[in-house]
Amino acid sequence: MTVVDDIKARVDIVDLIGEYVELRRSGKNYIARCPFHDDRTPSFVVFPETQTWRCFGCGKGGDVFTFLQERENLDFREALQVLARRAGVVLHQGHAADPHAPLRELLEEASLFFRHHLTTEQGRVAYAYLRDRGLNDATIEAFGLGYAPAGYENLLRHFLAQGRSVDDLVAAGLVSRNDDTGRVYDRFRHRVMFPIRDERGRMAGFGARTLEPDGVPKYLNSPQGPLFDKSRLLYGLDKAKSAIRRRDLAVVVEGYMDVIALHQAGHDYAVAPMGTALTEHHLRLLKRYSKRIVLALDPDAAGRRAMLRSLEVAERATDGQEPVLDMRGFVRYEQRLDVQLRVVTLPEGVDPDELVRRDPTQWEQRLAQARPLLLFVMDWRAAELDPHDPRERARFAQEMADLLRLVANPVEREAYIRHLADLLGTSYASVAALVTQRRPARGRPRSKTDPGAAPPTPRAPRREQVLLGLLLTDANVQARVDRCLRAVGLPPVGVDDFRHGPHRALWQVWQRALEQFEVSEDEYLARHLDPSLAAVWQACQAAVAELRTHAPARRAREALLLVLHLRREAYKQELDQRIALMRLAPPSEQAAHLEAIQRAQVVLKNIDVAEQHAKCTTEEVL
């Protein structure tokens, strides 16, 4: 029996799926509304005898692995790990075992060490702090909060006595080593300890708050490493993900205590970054469970700027003046990832945990008042304007117009234009003209062909090469292309769009890179591409070297036209083959060939529609 068969034998499909949807017995089977599409009448069926499931509405189906992959947006490796833990099956090397399992085990033991010390005489000050913040014993236990005792060798001596090595403790981020003297000492001392887990509940590290009145730093995290990566961890997501999915809403707050207090008050859909800005990976994690994300901002300007500096949007200095935010990147993430970002502000000087303790109903009222990101940004920046300075007004109008060009939906964009016109006290037509106005191209002119350059590859592989280069060097391009394809009923870009074997292999590795969250996509490619595929990737990058200076919308249009051209060629070839086969087939088989021919003709028509739309539409709205 394989490890997959062993897991299937131990995990009952009815129990697993019943945790996600409400199943109702129907004869030998169970039925429910499908969790993968808008299902008004139950068309989702679970078959206990075969341990399979199928939706007769959307056509999806499979076993426990495929259900978990679809529902949690996991690849097979991740689903295997989750189900193995559930089934109590040990994964050995080659079965996607966690390479960091020994470090995670050590962190779990450290968590128990800190939890124990919270109950000691020395830990009373930490326990009193948590109770003063309004946390009850059940919440303290649920979140595994603890105390790191004062002193430099408490944890070190404890684990050395158990036979642990200093190198393991350093690798886990539990102790630090002085590079000059070689001295090893506890990293966390006289601090409240917050265990940090990834979205699957696995230990990744610790956050620690000082109990010294003048302690510096106030919060200290585990060092950056293979397990603790602040750009990829969200505090509380392991506990919040079910509630986020159930309510179809995720709320991002500032700190650990905010998350814990909200969960204790029943608002268990809150998460927080690790004292850093939100990143694209954070949003991708949240998008697994909901596309509706609310950012809870402090009311002061510093708090707003701190939160809006998220999504890896760098600040840029202007003539030595105060740095300003490049909001284009912020809005690009919202459009590219197809998430709905909204913003809610809190009362002056009040944290979320204070708010829910003072008036639990006010938190929900605040959430109901959350505003779309762009409206918040426009109002916020407009409030900082000097209404009597024409140049400042013009600069503000141009800045907002640049943002509105990134909004793909024309109805949504029109509403924003009207709001901006109201803020400026000018006509809708004036603002609309500014939004549709093309900015001067800043890219350098296309260079002439180098006579000494290598001869071009054949046309079809060359087109695929350029397409891969455009898609894999900017995920924004892929998102725009997929959105345009779906708008005319065509599937998003996939492996079947590439016919050249190495290009198909490269695309599949790239998809796996996007689905994992352990390392960056570039680092994943560097680790998993063999030399031959690495050469293919380098060739794809070289093929689009000159196109990188073009605006993202222009690159997206070029990629879309390439996808449509390649699909047209493929479907024309299929159409010719089907017609030839139908002429040779006996009458009993001709109906099947005719149906396939008609399907191909519909797809070709949709391709023509998409191509005409791409050629006639301005780049900004792609």
| 571: in domain | yes
CA dist 28 and 536 (Å) reads 52
Tokens found for residue 258: 């905010």
Instruction: Indicate which CATH number applies to the domain containing 244.
Output: 3.40.1360.10
* Beta-bridge partner residues of 52: 47
Could you tell me if 48 and 30 are in contact, meaning their C-beta atoms sit under 8 angstroms apart?
yes
Instruction: Confirm whether 316 is domain-assigned.
Output: yes
Q: Which of 28, 61, 87 is the last residue of a domain?
A: 87
324 & 196 share domain: no
The answer to whether residue 447 sits within a structural domain is no
Do 364 and 508 belong together in one domain?
Answer: no
Separation of alpha carbons 326 and 328, rounded Å: 6
pLDDT of residue 41: 83
Q: Domain boundary residue among 384, 413, 434?
A: 384
239 in the same domain as 222? no
Share of the chain above pLDDT 70, in %: 84
Q: In this predicted model, what pLDDT tens digit does every residue of 557-575 receive, in sequence order? A: 899 999 999 988 888 877 7
Q: Which residues of 47-70 are buried (b: 16+ CB within 10 A; e: fewer)?
A: eeeebbbbbebeebbebbbebbbb
Domain contains 424: no
Answer yes or no: is 420 within a domain: no
CATH label of the domain that carries residue 67: 3.90.580.10
The residue with greater pLDDT, 97 or 147, is 147
3-state secondary structure 262-296: HHHCCCCCEEEECCCCCCHHHHHHHHCCCCEEEEE
Q: Tens digits of per-residue pLDDT, 437-494? A: 755 444 434 443 343 333 343 444 789 999 999 988 877 788 888 888 887 778 888 8
Is 327 part of any domain?
yes
Residues 223 and 277 in one domain: no
Residue 434 lies in a domain: no
215 and 362 fall within a common domain: no
Report residue 621's pLDDT band, with 50, 70 and 90 as the boundaries.
very low
Examine the fold and report which residue of 60, 87, 114 is the final residue of a domain before the chain moves on: 87
Strand partners, 24: 31
Same domain, 478 and 607: yes
**What dihedral do alpha carbons 348, 350, 356, 358 form, nearest 10°?**
-90
| 201 and 251 assigned to the same domain | no
**Are 276 and 304 within one domain?**
yes
- Domain of 203? 101-228
Angle formed by the axes of helices 390-404 and 373-383, nearest 10°: 170
Q: Count other C-beta atoms under 10 Å from residue 439's C-beta.
A: 11
Is it the case that residue 394 has pLDDT exceeding 60? yes
Task: Evaluate whether residue 433 is within a structural domain.
Answer: no
**Per-residue DSSP letters for 360-392?**
HHHHHHHHHT-EEHHHHHHHHHHHTS-TT-HHH
**555 plus 601 within the same structural domain:** yes
Domains: count for the chain: 4
CA dihedral 28, 34, 35, 39 (to 10 degrees): -150
Q: Are residues 182 and 270 in the same domain?
A: no
Residues 533, 502 contacting (CB under 8 angstroms) = yes
195 lies in the same domain as 257: no
Element (H, E) at 332: helix 327-337
Place of tokens 């409206």: 375
For residue 580, what is the domain's CATH number? Answer: 1.10.860
Give the pLDDT score at 206. Answer: 98
The pLDDT assigned to 139 comes to: 96
**Are 67 and 127 found together in one domain?**
no
Give 450 or 104, the one with higher predicted confidence: 104
